[in-house]
Amino acid sequence: MRLPSGKRGGCNHIVSIVTMVTTPPRKTKIPNILGDWDDVRFFLAVAKTGSFSAAATQLNTKQTTVGRRIQALERRLGAKLFDRHRHGMEVTPAARGVLVQAESMMSNATAIERHLAGLDREMAGIVRIAATEGIAAHWLVPRLGVLRRTHPDIIVQVIAGDQVLDLATRQADLAIRFFRPTSNQLVAARVGQVNMSIFAAPSYIEHYGLPQKLDDMREHHVVDHTTLHSLPAMKPWSEVVERSTSVVLRTNSSYAAMEAVQTGYGISVFPDYIAKSSNLVAAPIDLKIVRDIWLVSHEETNKGARIRTVIDYVREQFRQDEREWFSTTPRSRSGNNSSIVAA
């Protein structure tokens, strides 16, 4: 091949050809508008709970962190996700389509997580147990010592409260509940029963006496544990509260209700087993309230080694204590220990 005349010009032609052949095409970088995929969890938590504070509690983080993550997500998407109302946060019309997709993403992610948890053979890591305040503080935690010694690499996280945590999304790995779950994916074993009675402190009895029958309750100061009213089994007690003309305290905390009764503030309803560790006195009134206790786990995660180990351990503790703690068989209702147990 004969080059064009002029050495300089010929070199320019060669360089141009080589450059054209060897330079790769420039790729267009697709912007990551969503940013951190974990922001989807924050978006869903606010959408479901209706507030930054409730979402923070669910996610075990700070309210300011939730607000900051939502604001950052709104900036990246260029759209407002929530409107603030008196009753809480509501998803905007623009974000409703995002909500559907986010729920699908979270459902797929948790399904993968549950599957992997079910295959997990490691005897190390966190196992989350959800329980009511009283069961958690005064029965469950004092019985975890042997588990700690035999399996030191298993870290038990006890989540105390009356809220019903979602085992499908792994808010907890197992739960101790006073009602049987309805989901077909949840495995429930009845591990005991408790009878509910009306209790008063000696200091209260000294001033106001102890009610002997239901009609006497109209004349007594009542401490209302409001969470109980959502349970059908507690209807007899709900009727007592409705008829009362002297409800002196309302609280959604069983521990707060117990503290109030212990100090003589009023009288309230508790499981009979509080008599094992308090000086409270039970009124001779049969409310005919018997509550089953259920140990609940998810069918996809309860086969993992450490979760199964904790389930079996807790179930064995219930078996050992069923006669003394979780039986409706009549027994003594007084004790010498001044510590207290809430439901």
Q: What percent of the chain has pLDDT over 90?
A: 43
Question: Would you state the pLDDT for residue 18?
Answer: 44
334 inside domain? yes
The DSSP symbol for 138 reads I
Domains in the chain: how many in total?
A: 2
**Does residue 251 carry a pLDDT above 90?**
yes
End-to-end Cα separation, the chain, in angstroms: 96
| Main-chain phi, psi angles of 260, to 5 degrees | -65, -45
29 inside domain? no
SS (H, E, C) 14-55: HHHHHHHHHCCCCCCCCCCCCCCCCHHHHHHHHHHHCCHHHH
23 inside domain? no
Do 129 and 53 lie in a common domain? Answer: no
Dist CA 162 CA 146 (whole Å): 26
Domain boundary among 64, 97, 118: 118
Do 186 and 251 lie in a common domain? Answer: yes
Task: Quote the domain boundaries for residue 285.
Answer: 122-343
Domain boundary among 91, 118, 145: 118
12 inside domain? no
Which of 245-254, 269-278, 307-316, 324-333 shows the lowest mean pLDDT across its residues? 324-333
Strand partners, 129: 158, 174
Do 54 and 182 lie in a common domain? Answer: no
Do 150 and 90 lie in a common domain? Answer: no
Do 84 and 152 lie in a common domain? Answer: no
Dist CA 9 CA 6 (whole Å): 5
Highest averaged pLDDT of the listed ranges 46-60, 97-111, 133-147: 133-147
Which of 21-25, 115-119, 156-160, 162-166 shows the lowest mean pLDDT across its residues? 21-25
Do 105 and 160 lie in a common domain? Answer: no
What's 109's domain CATH number? 1.10.10.10
**Does residue 123 carry a pLDDT above 90?**
no
Which residue matches tokens 């100090």? 263
Torsion of CA 170, 172, 174, 180, to 10 degrees: -90
How confident is the model over 292-337, as pLDDT tens digits? 999 999 987 878 888 999 999 999 999 999 888 988 764 444 443 3
Sequence-separated (6 or more) residues with CB below 8 Å from residue 318: 191, 192, 293, 295, 326
How confident is the model over 70-118, as pLDDT tens digits? 888 888 877 888 888 877 888 888 777 777 777 777 776 666 665 665 5
Question: Would you state the pLDDT for residue 300?
Answer: 79
C-alpha to C-alpha distances, 249 to 164, 225, 227, 232, 237, nearest whole angstrom: 24, 8, 13, 22, 15
Do 112 and 192 lie in a common domain? Answer: no
Q: Do 275 and 335 touch, CB atoms closer than 8 A? A: yes
Do 282 and 190 lie in a common domain? Answer: yes
* Sheet strands (E) in 152-280: 154-160, 174-177, 186-200, 222-225, 247-251, 268-271
Q: Do 131 and 163 touch, CB atoms closer than 8 A? A: no
Residue 35 pLDDT grade (very low, low, confident, very high; cuts 50, 70, 90): low
106 inside domain? yes
Do 144 and 114 lie in a common domain? Answer: no
Do 75 and 145 lie in a common domain? Answer: no
Domain boundary among 52, 85, 118: 118
Question: Would you state the pLDDT for residue 262?
Answer: 95
5 inside domain? no
What's 198's domain CATH number? 3.40.190.290
